[in-house]
Amino acid sequence: VIKKSPSTKTPALLEMRSSWQSTLLLAVCCAAVVLLSKYDSASSTARRHLGTDHPGISPPNFATATVSNSNLGGLCGLSCKTDQSNYDTATGACAYTDTSDPKCDQGAAHEMYFQGLGSTQSGNQVDLRVTNLTEYTPWDSNQNGLSGAWGQISILANHPSEFLFEFVDTVTGELVTLDEFGFTFLDLDTTSTGYEEMVTITQGQLDPNNPYEFYDNGQLVRAPPASSKIVVTGSGTNGNGEQTYSFRSSVRDTGGGNLSSFLDPTTSSPTTSPGGGQQLMQQQAVRLNFKDTSSFVVKLGAVWPGHDTYADFANVAVHPNTHMNQKGDPVTLGANLFPPGVGHNIQFGVTGNLIASPTQAAATHTTATLAAAPSHRAPTGKVDSSFPPDAPPPSSPRLASLLLLTSIATASGASADGTAARSTPMASKLAKANYDVACPPQWLPVIL
């Protein structure tokens, strides 16, 4: 009797064993995929799925946040808005008084930090850090921070500044790259002394297919409605020659456009009183749309008509030299004098979806955006985490399932004839945590 060596298996036997292994592997993988989907579905109910409960402006919102630091420009507590006249119309400068109570720490980081802004759809807790990239001149820095459901920056008219907005992971301090989100600037109106509120941003930072939107009876629309109180231009450039979008107010402040709720911009039947009501609120709001970034730079200010930066009234003949006061009466400026000092609060809110992105393309885009900023800072915290930004925590059942799938797929690479393991398409796919496996439909009832 001649016995065959174990290493001399017939091709038919090898093919049968390979087929049996592939079938078993596919069944196990499909079961694990279902487990993963069930885990994701169950865990998602405990997360804040931002942007799915309400259209337009929806959580996250600043009403759930706290300001852990408010020291933009290192000027916390300083105010030009006091009982005394601290603004000099001959020089256009303020003599600031520290009115903070209790006294703030001007030695703290020169930033405004909103903690607990919300969480992404992938479960990352998110903060927002705001820093000024150019000289910042407040009207009353005590007004910086929160204003109900909105964030707020106080500025002195005629002194626009560039600000860097960064989304930060609450736990790690790393920048959180988001697939998409909206950022709405609200209550854009003209001051009682004639300065127009302005929001300017380079076009390359926005979603090229849908860079900005306006509110019209609660609906987001691409073109400015006929009733909009905002004038938009896209023909300008910044100091680097990059094309910009600029959004400017066109009507005076009547006190009626101050929003207090996320429902104000999204209601389909807006009120018209007092002072224009919710209808005016929608007419004075614009939403900027972003993709694949963790930060953006925007220029904010209240500027003189026909200007987009500081106007030197003392040494240059500025035109126009008249403006309409709060009562609607024309006022002519004195020779070589600045208009009366006035401040304006820039209000903003995070809108739409916050979806954390693990893609390398998004990370590259974020790095490029920061590098293009006039005075960028390196991200804080670790930058070499062993898990991708959207990875589950080390103790999660999802990660355990992914590791199981990866080990099974790798083990399946061993050939049926006992030779060295080989790489398979399925092993490579699962090793990258991509568990989009094609399960035969007839297996699903059994697995479920």
pLDDT digits (tens, 9 = 90+) for 321-367: 998 777 778 999 999 999 999 999 999 998 766 777 554 334 445 55
* Contact assessment for residue 237 and residue 244, using Cβ atoms and an 8 Å cutoff: yes
> What pLDDT, on a 0 to 100 scale, did the predictor assign at position 84?
66
Give the percent of the chain with pLDDT over 90: 45
Query: For residues 399 and 383, what is the distance between their CA atoms, to the nearest angstrom?
Result: 21
Residue 56 lies in a domain: no
Same domain, 126 and 254: yes
* Contact assessment for residue 37 and residue 398, using Cβ atoms and an 8 Å cutoff: no
> What tens digit of pLDDT does each residue of 244-296 get?
999 999 988 766 556 667 778 888 999 888 778 889 999 999 999 999 999 99
Same domain, 178 and 308: yes
Residue 132 lies in a domain: yes
Same domain, 89 and 17: no
**Measured distance between the N- and C-terminal CA atoms of the chain, rounded to whole angstroms:** 50
Residue 181 lies in a domain: yes
Maximum average pLDDT range among 107-121, 168-182, 303-317: 303-317
Residue 388 lies in a domain: no
> What pLDDT, on a 0 to 100 scale, did the predictor assign at position 444?
33
> What pLDDT, on a 0 to 100 scale, did the predictor assign at position 60?
61
> What pLDDT, on a 0 to 100 scale, did the predictor assign at position 381?
29
> What pLDDT, on a 0 to 100 scale, did the predictor assign at position 276?
84
Using alpha carbons only, what angle is made at residue 321 by residues 318 and 324, rounded to the nearest 5 degrees? 140
Same domain, 248 and 364: yes
Residues 407-414 have a mean pLDDT of 45
Q: In this structure, which amino acid lies at residue 166?
A: E
Same domain, 96 and 173: yes
Residues 36-55 have a mean pLDDT of 38
Q: Judge whether residue 91 has pLDDT over 80.
A: yes
Smallest CA-to-CA distance from 63 within 145, 120, 125, 182 is with: 145
Residues 397-423 have a mean pLDDT of 42
pLDDT-derived band at 420 (thresholds 50, 70, 90) equals very low
Cα 134 to chain centroid, rounded: 20
Residue 1 lies in a domain: no
Q: What does the block give as tokens for 210?
A: 């849908």
Which residues are within 8 A (CB) of 397 and not within 5 positions of it... i.e. 6 or more apart?
Answer: 35, 39
Q: What does the block give as tokens for 272?
A: 């018209």
Residue 383 lies in a domain: no
What value does the mean pLDDT of the chain take? 75
Residue 382 lies in a domain: no
Instruction: Give the 3-state secondary structure of residue 403.
Output: helix
pLDDT-derived band at 368 (thresholds 50, 70, 90) equals low
Helix (H) or strand (E) holding 42: helix 11-44
Same domain, 125 and 88: yes
Give the percent of the chain with pLDDT over 70: 63
> What tens digit of pLDDT does each residue of 138-149 get?
999 999 999 888
* Contact assessment for residue 337 and residue 322, using Cβ atoms and an 8 Å cutoff: no
Sole residue written with tokens 């256009």: 92
Using alpha carbons only, what angle is made at residue 93 by residues 87 and 99, rounded to the nearest 5 degrees? 60
Least confident of 25-39, 54-68, 167-181, 337-351: 25-39
Same domain, 76 and 39: no
Helix locations, 238-297, DSSP H: 263-266, 277-283
Query: For residues 257 and 186, what is the distance between their CA atoms, to the nearest angstrom?
Result: 8
Residue by residue, DSSP assigns 107-144 as: TS-SSEEEEEEEE-TTS-EEEEEEEESS----SBGGG-
Residues 378-391 have a mean pLDDT of 32
Helix (H) or strand (E) holding 145: strand 145-147
Query: For residues 342 and 252, what is the distance between their CA atoms, to the nearest angstrom?
Result: 13
Same domain, 239 and 345: yes
Q: Judge whether residue 214 has pLDDT over 60.
A: yes
Residue 242 lies in a domain: yes
Residues 420-447 have a mean pLDDT of 38
> What pLDDT, on a 0 to 100 scale, did the predictor assign at position 58?
40
Residues 112-122 have a mean pLDDT of 86
Same domain, 32 and 66: no
Q: How many domains does the chain have?
A: 2
Same domain, 29 and 84: no
pLDDT-derived band at 17 (thresholds 50, 70, 90) equals low
Query: For residues 108 and 74, what is the distance between their CA atoms, to the nearest angstrom?
Result: 7
Query: For residues 143 and 76, what is the distance between their CA atoms, to the nearest angstrom?
Result: 10
Q: What does the block give as tokens for 40?
A: 């994701």
Maximum average pLDDT range among 46-60, 91-105, 194-208: 194-208
Q: Judge whether residue 129 has pLDDT over 50.
A: yes
Same domain, 198 and 249: yes
Residues 204-222 have a mean pLDDT of 96
- The residue segments making up the domain with residue 283 are 62-372
